[in-house]
Amino acid sequence: MSMLRNAARSLLRILTDPFNFTILSGINRGRQWRVKAGTIGCWLGTYERDEAALIAALIPKDAVVFDVGAHAGYYTLAASRLVGPTGRVIAFEPDPVNLGYLREHVRANRADNVTVVPQPVGDVHDAKVTFVQNVDHRYESTMSGAIEGPGETMSLVTLDRVIEGGLPAPDIVKMDIESAESRAIAGCPKLVARQKTSWLISTHGAENVLNLVPLFQKAGYAVHDVQDGKRILGAPELPIYTMLALPPGRNYPVVAS
């Protein structure tokens, strides 16, 4: 049965790839989406329902949102709607195919409050890295420190430097960059020290959890395990898949069911 279901989905992608469809439900309901740009859940509006509900509760009108690892723009489009015309969304995405879909979705949905940055985020501004595409699953492309070998050579940006270069400091950072999260946070100590940004971070493994949870705790943030919403006091208990670090004065959002 699963083989038939997968075959049907593959056929659906082939037949619908040239077209934009209207997302049927969820935080992006009514938005235009290229079916092949993500999982079928993106088009149906069921993609990552729990995280989508958290993001909807976390992002207020007029906010500045950094979507670090924007992929094809599912959360970029959601943030664009949530912040409204006077807010801003900065979407960072280096994968060339994802980037094409991201730009298409921004254009098709007239998301004029979105700025796209086509570079990977890391720890050393302008450092050269090799971006290695996963052509079978574009949610899992990665960066390599080696600049020789298969892949495309790119220059890293750091969040501190892009803010110094003129981008507004974010109220919320959503980060999902396939295990490079610790490096990205190492590249923005000034932003972390401001204690004005909420950080929703996909951890991708124990190493990031053990690095990032104490880092944010030491910086004065309340760090929560998104799986149950509970605040992490002291050393984190693994596994933690997604963490939310809130600056002083911000409470864990009430999430609609």
Instruction: Give the pTM.
Output: 0.89
Show the tokens assigned to 130: 């090799």
Same domain, 55 and 41: no
Is there a contact between 198 and 226 (Cβ–Cβ < 8 Å)? no
Same domain, 33 and 110: no
Report how far Cα 86 is from the mean position of its chain's Cα atoms.
21
Q: Classify residue 118: in a domain, yes or no.
A: yes
Same domain, 56 and 21: no
Can you state the percent helix, strand and coil of the chain, rounding each to 5?
35, 20, 45
Same domain, 98 and 208: yes
Residue whose structure tokens are 């890293």: 156
| Count of domains for the chain | 2
Same domain, 93 and 165: yes
Task: Look at residue 147 in the predicted model and tell me its pLDDT.
Answer: 47
Same domain, 64 and 147: yes
Q: How does pLDDT run across 179-218, given as a tens digit for each residue?
A: 899 999 999 999 999 999 999 999 999 999 999 999 999 9
Same domain, 55 and 136: yes
- What residues make up the domain containing 217? 48-246
Is there a contact between 170 and 90 (Cβ–Cβ < 8 Å)? yes
CA distance 193 to 212: 14
Same domain, 153 and 77: yes
Task: Look at residue 197 in the predicted model and tell me its pLDDT.
Answer: 98
Task: Look at residue 131 in the predicted model and tell me its pLDDT.
Answer: 81
Q: Classify residue 187: in a domain, yes or no.
A: yes
Same domain, 184 and 214: yes
Model confidence at 81: pLDDT above 70: yes
